[in-house]
Structure 1
Amino acid sequence: MSKRKRDINSPNNEQPLRGLRILFLVRTPQERIRVTRVLSRRLEELGASLVGSVENLQSWTRSEVASVVVCTDDISHAKTCCNPLPLSAFEGVVDVSWAAGCVQNRQVATIRLLNVSEATQTSIDDCDGGSRGVIDDALDGDDQQETMEAAKWWPPRNLRPRRYLQPSSDMDCEEEASTRQDRIEAAKNIPKYACQRKSHLEACPNERLCEYLNAMADLRAMESHDSRLGDTKYRAYRLASAAIRCFPFRIRSAEEAEYIPYCGGRVKEAIHEYLQTGKLSEVSKLWTEEYFINLWSLLGVHGIGTKTGRELLASGVTSLDLVVQHCLSGKHPSLKLPLVFYNDLNHNLMSRDDAVRIHDYVINVASSLGLSLEFALAGGFRRNKKNGHDVDLLMRHKYLEFGHSSELQVLVRALRASGFIVATFHETIDQRRDRTASPGTFDGPHDMVFCVIRDPQTAVGRRLDLVASRRSEFPFALLAWSGNAIFERQLREYAKEVKGWVFDGHGLWKKENPSECATGTMDTMIETEKDIFCILGLDYLDPSDRNC
């Protein structure tokens, strides 16, 4: 199809059209999502408003709408989805070069003012040089502040490798007097799933054994070259450790331990060795063998998992300084920011007071901006942990189902402008591609920004994870972000194996028919975590009881 000329410099568009509604219905391909997000923000700054779905337009029809435009790089599909819209102000579908032209001229112009009555299909790569440059400039401007901040400390100096913490010799707490029969009965009464039992932070009579089993889990994950096999072995020891933490007596023999869930086979052998020697000799590899010492230090870099870590070691990159040189040579550029903040994130544990202060700071900024967001502190600090490595902050819109995306964008922009956010590791905002899908057919994550912030009081770099969910999904998101890894995994397994349902941070659905709500009635409202526990047939566990 032939392209119509866009007269961006026409004198008719000297006055920007305030009140123009830009409707994004068709998601761009994955590699272009960031382009869409940046252009959206630039258009908002010029006075445009963004609407996420056709459903949301119902509320806009009651107000004065100057013009509605669908901006996309998949025009043929967009027309199928939304043409014609039941709105007199609907002008048609345009490609992203139109948005780039608006940014270039620093004003929003309608399609008519651009002399385009019907846009033709054009990809981002087919845009003229000027539009392509505008997009590049927008992307550069979006990262400029963070890049300049990180450049002050690049390349980083004096990186201190983290070390594996050895189990202490005085971790066990006192136990009550018991007979062998008491211990066997107590072991038999421990529920199979972690979501069925309370697990506190306080030390248990077998605390040191649990720490050794956790260390064995880490060792098995690090030494296995098959990720699935490594995960299976890791889970075996972690599940056993979580169950033993709920055993009220000190384990006296491996035979007694066999009655505790997940304590058979190799785990039973490990327990026998511990009872005989007071340790697990193989675990000492984590702090004595150079390979595991180096791998553990590399795993402290955000973005390096066991597979990447082993590949780096195999290529001769055996230290943090060599990883820096690796990045300087142009390899793994995504590791630059994590390396800059490595010391802060690995050697400066955050206290609960630090987490609360960061939580309050973000809320105050949101309040000063007039944002309608509700916040909740999640993660380890919600489980009453005294120290941690990051802050998990969940949020939702106070009134609207879908209003969280635009509010989070405004909040993050303000936090960056103030210098609070100094680096972003991962960002997915407004990327769920099917907003009108039936429940259980999601295609995309919650809105998330994983970043590094500069603590206003201590100036130490801290990890902050911002997660925004739909209003109706907030109880599920809060539950999914409040337990540790074992608790959450076993909660999903319980829902699937016992109830035949699927649980995740978005909802609870029938396994056989994902479009059917687990409660059986779509009008049943789930407002709190307690409602979810009740539907699953579980006794409610306070967040402090989810420390498996």
Structure 2
Amino acid sequence: MALVPLKRRRRASSPPAGPPGPGRFPAVVLCLVEKRMGASRRAFLTQLARAKGFRVDRAYSAAVTHVVSEQNSGAEVAQWLEQQREECGAEGNPALLDISWFTESMGAGRPVEIESRHRLRVTTLAPHRWQMAPYACQRRTPLLHSNQPLTEALETLAEEAGFSGSEGRSLAFTRAASVLKALPGRLSTLEELGPLPGIGEHSRRVIQDVLEDGVCAEVERVKLSERYQTMKLFTKIFGVGVRTASRWYQEGLRTLVDLQERGTKLTRQQQAGLRHYDDLNTPVERGEAESISRAVQGAVQRCLPGTSVTLAGGFRRGKPHGHDVDLLLTHPEAGREAGLLSRVVSWLDSQDLILYQHSQENSYALQEGPEPPGGRDVMDRFERCFSIFRLEVQGGPGAARGWKAVRVDLVVAPISQFPFALLGWTGSRHFERELRRFASHERKMVLNSHALYDSRRNLFLPAVSEEEIFQHLGLEYVPPAQRNT
């Protein structure tokens, strides 16, 4: 199937932000859960109920008496309710009801009596024990959390496992850390975890050690090991991955000076990474990222007016600093973006803003089949430029010479694929991994940064926004600031 421009579909209008009035039944205030119901159906049911005299509030508040859900378990709705209470600061104890109560009430033209068959069953948990959805993409994970020492210990072991080539072990520690990041409060005892998903016995031992002693001996041994320190040093070089770093370690190399003195053969990218090592390993501040974004925007408008430049990555998730800058470029007219990147990079280079660049062409084509090409790839196949930007600075690192080197990725996405690109390039990496795992295991779909493919219907599902992608997957939309898994 050829890739053709997708018409922007008119989305169902959302119900007004506030209720129209108390309605005919002032003792009943409804709130419909959008998850799995979808925005369009929720809007339709809201209009239907209001037409029959019911008050339906768009957002949860203490006034809500009936929460109505469709195709969600009692545990899922209870978790949704807790999230709403945290966000709005309102308590209340509404009835958690299946859609059957709503349907019968609409048929009767009044609120029918709540029977046991209408109520969603919620298993009561032991005191101090939290509930947690099994996939990170089903949870809201803020940038700041209360369990930093615990997650740092687990992420150190995840990194070490990755250096050793044990991807399964690395993923296990990463999943455990992501659960702790999503906890609503500080973990005090191991018992509080209960049977939360994603936390294995090894992770529990690490958590217990940190809770009891403040540190984990295993983690401290890893941090002090020569191999771990050397692997961290080498993998921080732009263009050096785990395999290359491991080979250098096996060859007896231990420092950056060793690489130079022993005449180690480096790619052009690695040479640039070594030359600007200190700058590239100095955090990029948000203001610096925005300055680079403005510079690229200026170049883009010179080359193709109307093109948008979006700051993605950790900065879109609310991080105050990061290790590089990811910028997505797209044009509202399909096909106009072709050839744009080379013109933009050439202009930036002519302004002495580029210290290094390597571009690659778009190698993606939407085709019929059981899954999109590269559907399980971590990276995508967009046209992109890996570059090192020359950023003028007045203070901090590089102030003496007046500039610092910053890693910048420029990615060009066709407008029809832009929502998928934005979702994929926002991260976090674990959130994206879990989102694709959920799509595959729970929905029999394949998601990548180009498309969403429904294997059961043999159909590509178009989307004009991130929200619509989540809707296709039957997931509650998670805003970027809550994807810091």
Change (3 A) 1:275 1:286: same
Aligned length, in residue pairs: 352
C-alpha change, 1:293 and 1:330, in structure 2 (3 Å) is closer
- 1:304 counterpart SS class: coil
Amino acid at match of 1:517: F
Q: Any idea what SS the aligned residue of 1:182 has?
A: coil
Q: Indicate conservation of the 8 Å contact 2:223/2:229, yes or no.
A: yes
Q: Match for 2:154 among 206, 210, 213?
A: 213
Cα shift at 1:512:
4.9
Whole-Å separation in 2 of the counterparts to 1:494 and 1:287: 33
Give the corresponding residue for 1:291. 227
Question: How far off its partner does 1:261 sit?
Answer: 1.3
Corresponding letter in the other structure for 1:190 = M
Q: Could you say if the C-alpha distance between residues 454 and 338 of structure 1 is closer, same or farther in structure 2, counting changes exceeding 3 Å?
A: same
Select the residue among 121, 128, 134 that pairs with 1:183. Answer: 128
**Cα displacement (A) at 1:277:** 1.8
What CA deviation, in whole Å up to 9, does each residue of 1:372-406 have, x standing for no partner?
42221100000010011111000112212x33231
- How big is the alpha-carbon RMSD for the aligned residues of Structure 1 and Structure 2? 2.5
Alignment of 1:100-499 (within 5 A): 181-184=126-129, 186=130, 189-204=131-146, 206-222=147-163, 224=164, 227=165, 230-326=166-262, 328=263, 330=265, 332=267, 334-346=269-281, 348-400=282-334, 402-424=335-357, 426-432=358-364, 435=365, 437-438=367-368, 440-442=371-373, 445-457=381-393, 459-499=403-443
Higher Rg? 1
Q: Deviations over 1:9-44 (max 9, x none)?
A: xxxxxxxxxxxxxxxxxxxxxxxxxxxxxxxxxxxx
- Structure 2 runs not aligned, ≥5 long: 6-124, 375-379, 395-402
- Indicate conservation of the 8 Å contact 2:145/2:182, yes or no: no
Query: Gaps spanning 5+ residues in structure 1: where?
Result: 1-52, 57-179, 519-524
C-alpha separation in 2, matches of 1:414 and 1:430: 20
SS of residue matched to 2:423: helix
Aligned equivalents of 2:428, 2:226: Cα separation in 1: 30
1:25-36 → structure 2 map (5 Å cutoff): none
Give the distance between the partners of 2:290 and 2:269, measured in 1 at CA.
30
- The residue aligned with 2:470 is 533
CA distance 1:438–1:415, shift in 2 (3 Å): farther
Structure 1 pair 414/194, CA: closer, same or farther in 2 (3 Å)? same
Cα deviation for residue 351 of structure 1 reads 0.8
CA distance, structure 1, for counterparts of residue 223 and residue 229 of structure 2: 6
How far apart in 2 are the matches of 1:517 and 1:267?
39
Say if 1:494 and 1:441 are closer, same or farther in 2 by CA, change over 3 A. Answer: closer
Contact 2:310 2:328 in 1 (8 A): yes
Q: What is the one-letter code of the residue matched to 1:538?
A: L
Q: Percent identity?
A: 27
Q: Which residue of 2 aligns with 1:86?
A: none
CA contact (8 A) 1:239 1:262 kept: yes
Equivalent-residue separation in structure 2 for 1:317 and 1:333 (angstroms): 20
Separation (CA, whole Å) in 1 of partners of 2:250 and 2:447:
39
Mapping of residues 492-531 of structure 1, within 5 Å:
492-512=436-456, 516-518=459-461, 525-531=462-468
Q: CA deviation at 1:286?
A: 4.1
Q: 1:406 to 1:378 in 2, by over 3 A?
A: same
SS at match of 1:547: coil
Q: Contact 1:408 / 1:468 at 8 angstroms: preserved in 2?
A: yes
Q: Structure 1 residues 357 and 334 mapped into 2: Cα distance closer, same or farther (>3 Å)? A: closer
Change in Cα spacing, 1:253 to 1:494, as seen in structure 2 (3 Å) is same
Aligned residues of 1:510 and 1:517 also touching (Cα < 8 A):
yes
Relative to the length of structure 1, the TM-score reads 0.60
For the residue of structure 1 that corresponds to 2:232, the secondary structure is helix
